[in-house]
Amino acid sequence: MSRYFEKISFEQFKKDVKDDKNLYEEYKLPARQTKTSAGYDFFAIEDMVIKPGEIKKIPTGYKAKYENDEMLMIVVRSSMGVKYNVRMTNQVGIIDSDYYNNSKNEGHMWVSLQNQGQEDYHIKKGEGYAQGIFSKYLTVDNEHIIDKERNGGFGSTNKEE
């Protein structure tokens, strides 16, 4: 079984984040903080501020590889929602296994956060702001055969070929 996070290529990083090799080399891959943590914390590549009412789409710099019968759920860290009213705009992100190395963006995952609080929300470089949780999923026994494969990146599964 193979399951891991890796950085996107520097070429993709230049497109999505910035042309800064030092920044690319120094950001951290997701990690669990305790031996029984379910979630892998996603760490900020750079300092950022989310103003009240603002939505910020954050490049993670990550892609993830895992088995075909698994998914990666991305959720906001609970303290952000409870203490500061900062939420993911889609509440829970579901990343399918075939998103990895897709032709459009290499499988680069993004997180969209909204500050619904009353004060600016600061995230410092290297600080956790979301977490990824791997999970198996089930399918129905009487499902028809699906031959369609992913052609692109985010939002591509409902598009015609």
Mean pLDDT per 10-residue segment, the chain (161 residues): 94 98 98 97 98 98 97 94 95 95 95 97 97 96 81 55 41
Calpha distance 104→90 (Å, rounded): 21
Calpha distance 29→151 (Å, rounded): 26
Task: Return the CATH architecture of domain 4-136.
Answer: Distorted Sandwich (2.70)
Give the model's pLDDT for residue 58: 97
Domain boundaries, the chain: 4-136
> Exposure of 137 by Cβ count < 10 A (0-12 exposed, 13-18 middle, 19+ buried)?
exposed
Calpha distance 56→41 (Å, rounded): 18
CA proximity to 95, closest of 58, 55, 135, 44: 135
Question: Which structure tokens are listed for 26?
Answer: 């120094």
Calpha distance 13→18 (Å, rounded): 6
Q: Which amino acid is at 131?
A: Q
The pTM (predicted TM-score) of the whole model is 0.88
Give the model's pLDDT for residue 161: 41
The Cβ-side half-sphere exposure at 120, using a 13 Å CA radius, reads 6
